[in-house]
Structure 1
């Protein structure tokens, strides 16, 4: 398995704070749809608590990635949708708990007026690249 290459400060670009500007890898591409803070029964976890919702979202992402044979180590891009950009520190803390500060993917953060249910504060989608083994090539 190959580890994605991450560049936090390409020449002429201000250094990234909390993400990488550029990430690439070789292998099989995996796209994970936006995940919200829903448990396996479809119930909201952490109503009015951005950190609790972000923790559940990252757990849902972990499960989706695992279904494709991927881990957070394979993630090259995250897109955060939040109803209030002030939730970003809580989202980043939840991300750092599972990804760590040394393997930061490329990222975008977007404040939206609403998600598909009014009690949801955070939705995150992920793109990953899984290195191919000899038998997959």
Structure 2
């Protein structure tokens, strides 16, 4: 049976989807953008701040589901400009300690709300 995960510590979905779904020991977390969950405002003060907000949004959802960054097995990073890869990678890497997840990073022509970065994850949840 699937379990829907929702928290106020991450932005509310802006469409017909859930923040995350747990199923058969896995947690599928929808892509997070740099939106402040408290205000609904998009963080657009630079790619480092944007990436940090995305990671904090992921953290809020993972925590609600009883998981953490060490439980992530796969991530997907979407960037509108691959030139920001190094900065996003530095922020992203600061949330992991070891046993890093599998990952791909792709450049896309656009993201919701005109943001520059979106990250989704899959985590193993016991």
Q: Give the corresponding residue for 1:114.
A: 110
**Which digits, 9 at most, give the CA deviation of each residue in 1:12-61, with x for residues without a partner?**
xxxxxxxxxxxxxxx7100000000000121011x151111000000000
In the aligned structure 2, how far is the partner of 1:64 from the partner of 1:29?
Answer: 14
When Rg is computed on C-alpha atoms for both structures, the one with the higher figure is 1
Q: Give the corresponding residue for 1:58.
A: 55
Q: TM-score, normalised by structure 2?
A: 0.76
Q: Secondary structure at the match of 1:117?
A: helix
In the aligned structure 1, how far is the partner of 2:93 from the partner of 2:104?
Answer: 16
| Contact 1:48-1:121 within 8 A present in 2 as well | no
Segments of structure 1 that go 5 or more residues without pairing to the other structure are 1-26, 133-137
Aligned length in residues = 102
Segments of structure 2 that go 5 or more residues without pairing to the other structure are 1-23
For CA contacts below 8 A with separation 6 or more, give which structure has more relative contact order: 1
Runs of 4+ with deviation above 6 angstroms: none
Q: TM-score, normalised by structure 1?
A: 0.70
In the aligned structure 1, how far is the partner of 2:36 from the partner of 2:27?
Answer: 22
